[in-house]
Structures are given as C-alpha cells and as structure tokens.
Amino acid sequence: MFMSIDFAINARHQHVEHNNQARQCTDTFNKPEESQRVLDFLRAHYYPEEPLNVSIEPKRQEDADEEYTMSMVKYGMSLMAVEPISQNSKDRIVGALIVGPKDANEANNLFKAANRAATRKWYHMTQLLACVERDANVYERYKVQRVLHNHAIAVDSTMRGKNIGSRLITEMIKVAKDARFEAITADCTSFYSAKLYERLGFECINTIYYSHYKDTNKQQVFRPEPPHTCIKTYGYRL
C-alpha cells in the first residue's frame, strides 16, 4: 500500500549548493519486504543512538523491542522516505516514522507487558513507557478517544539537516487527519527529537527525568549521555 508525496532536498555536499536537487518521496508501507527493509534501516540509524536502548545493558536492542515496534506496521500508516538511486535499483531509504493507534487502555497494556517481559532491560523500558503513558493521560487532557502514537523516527545519519524528519511528521499529520484521529502523541526519549516535534507545533504535555526512574534498590536505571535528560511527551490536536 503506497501513498506518495514528492519533495526536494538540498544537494548532499555540505559546502556547495547545487541547482540539481535530489528527488525524494514519502510512502506509507505495510508489505513484508518493505517492513524488513525498514527494520534493517532502524537497526542502522535508530537503535544505536536511541537513548533508552543504549543507556542500559546490553546496548543491543531487544528482540521484543523490534517486534513491538514493527507490529505497528500492519496498520498501514507508518512512513518511509526514499531516495531514487537509478532505474535498475531499489530506492534508498533515508528516513522512517513508525506509528500506530492507541486508546485509553494503553498504560495498563504497557504495565501488563512489562510484567511479562523476559529480560530486565525490556521490563524497565516497558515499565518506564507505561509510567510515561499514565502520566501524560492524553485522553483526559484532550478529551479524545482516537489517538495516533509515534513510536520511532529515524533519519539516515548522512542525510540529517535536510528536513527529512520534519517532512515525515508533516505527512504523518495528514495521514492521521485522513484516518479521522483526534490527536497525535510522541514520547521523545531524545533531546533532538523533542526539539523537532516542538518546532512543528506539538505541545509538551508531560516530562519524566531519567534520574527519577529507579529500580527497587533505589538505583537509577537509565543513564543516557548528555544532552538526553528526560522523556518528553508531545501532543497534537487534530
């Protein structure tokens, strides 16, 4: 299933701006072969830098994390940004945004998932996200029922600074409106993703500092490198 919107970006060279612009498009996707390509992309450009993932051992992402994230693809609203290479080769993925619907039971569902977690890492990641969901309480705050949640956003490390992330989010807002969602949320574990959503008009509705989340021994669990200090939840009314 594809829905395309073309957009142009600046040429790659960081010192010289060319008149010839690279052509790109964003597409929704839900085919198995597309999902595998996006997962491979996330393994290269998302998981190695995602603050929750790399601030607790083991630093490699959990299989359960990948399965949960990619389970959202079946809804057909996640997006990838692709750059044509040549007529005889597949387009290159340069960005991805994974989204899926949620409802007022989401916090309880996450707490239950944490209790079923097979590893300490996945338990704490899910437990923290459950706390984030509970405290943000977007359904009561916005008086809504249908919410589209942003689970992961990534841009190719060689293509950053070219508004690819902004264009993915802008297109996602259109997708959400067309599907008659009432609001959009995003839990930004990264300082940089938080700034991106702020720039696009999202409202910060909750903040949890990593230093405040501790295990039963009162030890801080997640210790990301600066400037990542907290998870900010952003909301957007439609």
Q: Which of 25-34, 68-77, 90-99 has the lowest mean pLDDT?
A: 25-34
pLDDT at 33: 81
What integer is the mean pLDDT of 84-90?
Answer: 73
Tens of pLDDT, residue by residue over 11-70, are 222 222 233 334 567 667 767 788 999 999 999 999 999 999 999 999 999 999 999 999
Q: Which residues touch 32 (CB under 8 Å, ≥6 apart)?
A: none
Global pTM value: 0.87
Q: How far apart are CA 39 and CA 31, in angstroms?
A: 12
pLDDT at 29: 72
CATH value at residue 90: 3.40.630.30
Handedness of CA 44, 153, 93, 73 (dihedral sign): positive
Q: Is the pLDDT of residue 231 over 50?
A: yes
Domain that holds residue 53: 5-12+21-237
What integer is the mean pLDDT of 203-215?
Answer: 99
What integer is the mean pLDDT of 1-8?
Answer: 32
User: Residue 87 burial by CB count (10 A; 0-12/13-18/19+): exposed, middle or buried?
Assistant: exposed
pLDDT at 204: 99
Q: How far apart are CA 39 and CA 147, in angstroms?
A: 24
Q: How far apart are CA 135 and CA 131, in angstroms?
A: 6
User: Residue 122 burial by CB count (10 A; 0-12/13-18/19+): exposed, middle or buried?
Assistant: buried
When comparing pLDDT for 78 and 18, which is higher?
Answer: 78
**Considering just the CA atoms, what is the radius of gyration of the chain in Å?**
18
**Angle between helix 63-70 and 32-45 (nearest 10):** 130
pLDDT at 23: 56
Q: Is the pLDDT of residue 115 over 90?
A: yes
Tens of pLDDT, residue by residue over 170-197, are 999 999 999 999 999 999 999 999 999 9
When comparing pLDDT for 25 and 105, which is higher?
Answer: 105
Token pair of 10, please?
């600046």
User: What's the mean pLDDT when you consider all of the chain?
Assistant: 89
Token pair of 108, please?
């309880």
55 touches 227 (CB < 8 A): no
- How many domains, in total, are found in the chain? 1
